[in-house]
A and B are shown apart, each in its own frame.
Chain A
């Protein structure tokens, strides 16, 4: 179900610039199925954690109001090219996904 997380991590000066694109419907629970009129149940990522070489650099709590297929961009000072970035998420239905990237 869960598709891969796309990630790009590049050094610019001494700052690692990390951009992440996740695949997720981010259903609010407010939308209705146009044909049946039934509410589409809420289904959204509610927790995101990013680490560099295993150390947490960013921990986020989200609501369903993050846009579908979430985009996240953040910057970390200190890492070097070759360091490993991991981003993982968990949604309100207990699904999880995780991806690694090497800073270039």
Chain B
């Protein structure tokens, strides 16, 4: 991941191209729901739909969630991004039937912080994908689920 990031940082033209594509995409995301990403049934497809397959792993994103969730139907999740110019925070549960749970578009004055409660089908990573300055970053936190909350 770091190698990739260095590669992108080194190559100015690639960075510019990336910035253009992501700004186009976030422009769309503001206007309309990312249906492809929301209907994706696997993590890979969801990330692909968000154009976040090569998002950089970042320690500046803090995903707060319980280590063990007894009830998968109500899992508190808090995401804080310490990356400047954060414009979007998305939350995914990697092994849910539809991994992408929510996408929050933040305005200028809105702090890069979101807390909510999600449902998780089974033990998996909760992944946050953050868009900041036209680039994508990601971080995970594993949550063990004793009782799933997605079906029945």
* Interfacial residues, chain A to chain B (CB-CB below 8 A): 15, 26, 28, 30-32, 34, 46-47, 52, 55-68, 70-79
Contacts and interface: CB of A to CB of B under 8 A. Distances in A.
A65 B118 contact: yes
A75 B81 CA distance: 13
B100 to A, nearest CB: 6
A75 B38 contact: no
Interface of B: 29-30, 33-34, 38, 73-76, 78, 93, 96-98, 100-107, 109-111, 113-120, 149-152
Nearest to B109: A78
Nearest to A31: B152
Given A59-B30, A60-B104, A72 B97 contact: no
Contacts, number: 106
B74 A65 contact: no
A102 B100 CA distance: 32
A30 B97 contact: yes
Contacts of A61: 29, 33-34, 38, 102-103
Contact of B115 (A26, A31, A72): A72
Given A63-B101, A66-B116, 18 more contacts: A15-B111, A26-B119, A30-B152, A55-B107, A60-B103, A60-B104, A62-B102, A65-B93, A65-B96, A65-B101, A66-B102, A71-B115, A73-B78, A74-B104, A75-B111, A77-B109, A78-B109, A79-B109
Contacts of B106: 57-58
